[in-house]
Homo-oligomer: A and B are copies of this chain.
Amino acid sequence: MNVAQLVSEIKSKKSYLCVGLDTDINKLPEGISKDTEGILQFNKEIINATKDFAVSYKINTAFYEQLGSKGWNIIEKTREMIPSNTLSIADAKRGDIGNTSTMYAKAFFETMDFDALTVAPYMGYDSVEPFLKFNNKITIVLGLTSNEGSADFQTNPIYDPPLYKTVLERISKWGTPENLMFVIGATKAEALVEIRNVVPDHFLLIPGVGAQGGSASEVCKNGKNALGGLLINSSRGIIYASSGRDFAEAARAEAQKLALETQPYTAHL
């Protein structure tokens, strides 16, 4: 799936929702076995229950890697379940010297055929560019993250302009809105107005709504652009909406709620 198809999906579903599959084996609801099969069943039911409202699914690799190679096999199988009319994102935050970044790109863009991958910016151009080289794939670079630790370097006041702005300014020139997006935390919604001055055209992947406290409507107000330009991620708030056997219905209800909250901000599309 490419950016044009994503925009069309946002328009038709009237939703910016990305569902985060941060599936923790220890948090599987009642009635689901705490093993490989259980995780796959859970992911399948969550996807089926939310696909009317979600335009994207994001797999957080850490939750699977804790299970070792079995966990990677679950990533592969879950990737295959993601509907082809939604954007599949591997949230893996990779990045290394050139030849190594190329290997990571092959892993996620070729071997597993994800549409998009999150990438860390610290190592600069030759660590990001190998991802951008892959045709019809999207690299999503960390800009301003949702966690408190973003104050240590990204917004540390000893630097003017702040580091995250230098990251956005510089990296936005390395790709186009067709192959490059940025991660901007929902907990920094007030910064979105200024961020849109720096990167007016790129899509922003916005984690931090829900469990982390960010407001989806605030994000839309400050962050939307002419093409929508937003993917608003919720993970725990949706997938663990209920710990009972009704987890899929509860997830669907939460997904719908979030989609409805942001729907007014899709009216211009």
Which A residues form the contact surface with B (CB < 8 A)?
A: 22, 24, 60, 62-63, 65-73, 75-76, 91, 93-98, 100-101, 103-104, 106-108, 110-112, 120-128, 142, 145-154, 156, 158-159, 163, 166-167, 170, 212
Are B124 and A154 in touch, CB under 8 angstroms? yes
The 8 Å CB contact of A122, one of B65, B96, B108, B122, is B122
Copies in the complex: 2
Please give 5 more A-B residue pairs, beta carbons under 8 A apart, in addition to A93-B96, A156-B166: A60-B100, A62-B104, A62-B107, A69-B72, A95-B120
Q: How far is the CA of A98 from the CA of B148 in the complex (A)?
A: 10
The 6 A-B pairs at the shortest CB distance, nearest first, are namely A124-B149, A124-B152, A62-B103, A69-B72, A65-B107, A69-B73
Q: How far is the CA of A66 from the CA of B130 in the complex (A)?
A: 14
**What residues on B are CB-neighbors of A146 within 8 Å?**
97
The 8 Å CB contact of A63, one of B100, B154, B167, is B100
Q: How far is the CA of A97 from the CA of B63 in the complex (A)?
A: 12
**What residues on B are CB-neighbors of A60 within 8 Å?**
96, 100, 103
Are B111 and A62 in touch, CB under 8 angstroms? no
CB distance from A37 to the nearest CB of B (A): 16
Q: How far is the CA of A66 from the CA of B125 in the complex (A)?
A: 21
CB distance from A124 to the nearest CB of B (A): 3
Q: How far is the CA of A121 from the CA of B146 in the complex (A)?
A: 15
Using A68-B107, A103-B66 as known contacts, say yes or no to A149 and B127 having CB atoms under 8 A apart. yes
CB distance from A111 to the nearest CB of B (A): 5
**CB-nearest residue of chain B to A111:** B68
Are A66 and B166 in touch, CB under 8 angstroms? no
Are A166 and B170 in touch, CB under 8 angstroms? no
Cβ contacts A to B, 12 pairs, < 8 Å: A22-B100, A65-B72, A65-B111, A66-B103, A67-B111, A93-B120, A122-B153, A123-B149, A124-B149, A124-B150, A127-B147, A156-B166
Q: How far is the CA of A62 from the CA of B61 in the complex (A)?
A: 14
Q: How far is the CA of A103 from the CA of B75 in the complex (A)?
A: 15
